[in-house]
Amino acid sequence: MQLKGKVAVVTGGGRGIGLAMALGLAEEGAHVAVAEIDEESAEKAVAEIMKRGIKSVAVRTDVTQPASVKAMVERVEAELGGIQILVNNAARLPGFLTFVEEKNSGGSAELWANIVDVCYHGVINCTAAVIEGMVERKYGKIINMASDAGKVGEPRQAVYAGAKGAIIAFTKSIAKEAGRYGVNVNAICPSMTKTEAVRQMLSADFEAKVVKAYPMRRLGEPQDIANLAVFLASDCAGWITGQAISVNGGYATA
C-alpha cells in the first residue's frame, strides 16, 4: 500500500472519474475526504471507501466559494489530519456549446462564468487553501484535472477547453513555485471518458463514430484516469512535477 496513512482530498469525488480516483487512493491506503456539492453522492462514496477499512469523510463543498473550501479543509484536517494529497477534480461539463452553428447555442454569459468558476477558480481556491500546510510540512501532491481539450482545443467546447487550458498553465506555474518545498503539482488531461455526463451527451451512433478517431478504438474508462492519479500521488512520481499528462488512447499526441 504505497499511500498508507496519507490524507487525501478529492473534489467532485462522488461520481465518475472523481469516485474512481477516490477509491483508487483508498485501495492504496490513503484516508480520503470526498469534497462534493452533492451530499448524497459523497455519502455513498464514503460508504464504499470505508468498506476497505479506510477512514473517510464526506464534506459538502462548493469549490467556487473560498469560505466553503476553507471550512472543508478545516474539517478534514480536524478529522483525518494534515492534507498531503489534493485532487482538484470538480468540474462543470455543459454539453455541446457552439458560437458558430446557428442551430445550436453558445449558451449565456451566466453559463460561461459558471463553467470557468467551477473548473478553474475551484482549482485556485482549493490549491490556495491547502498549499500553505503542504509547504510547512515540506510534502504535498496536487493533481489537477485538466483535459486534452485544454491542450489542443475542441469544437463545441470552447469555454470548457479554455478553462482547462488555464488549469494547465496554473499547474505549471504553481509547480515552479512549490517544487523547492517538496510539493509536486501535475495535471491529468483525459480525452473523452465514459462517465454518466459523457453518456448523456453521446448517442450510440455518435459514440461509434467518435471511437474511430481513437487509435485504441475505445473511449476512456474512469479507472484509466484513476490509475494515473494514484501514481502521481505516490512517491514513485517524486521527480515528476509541472506536467500535463494525457490519458487519451492516442487521440491527441501533442
With 0-12 / 13-18 / 19 or more C-beta atoms within 10 angstroms meaning exposed / middle / buried, residue 254 is exposed
Quickly tell me which residue has 482545443 as its cell.
Answer: 153
Q: Enumerate residues 6+ apart whose C-beta is below 8 A from 67.
A: none
Closest to 163 measured CA to CA, from 111, 235, 101: 111
Residue 251 annotated as catalytic: no
HEC sequence for the chain: CCCCCCEEEEECCCCHHHHHHHHHHHHCCCEEEEEECCHHHHHHHHHHHHCCCCCEEEEECCCCCHHHHHHHHHHHHHHCCCCCEEEECCCCCCCCCCCCCCCCCCCCHHHHHHHHHHHHHHHHHHHHHHHHHHHHHCCEEEEEECCCHHHHCCCCCHHHHHHHHHHHHHHHHHHHHHHHHCEEEEEEEECCECCHHHHHHCCHHHHHHHHCCCCCCCCECHHHHHHHHHHHHCHHHCCCCCCEEEECCCCCCC
Handedness of CA 27, 32, 38, 39 (dihedral sign): positive
Of the residues 160, 181, 214, 251, only one is catalytic, namely 160
Catalytic residues: 160
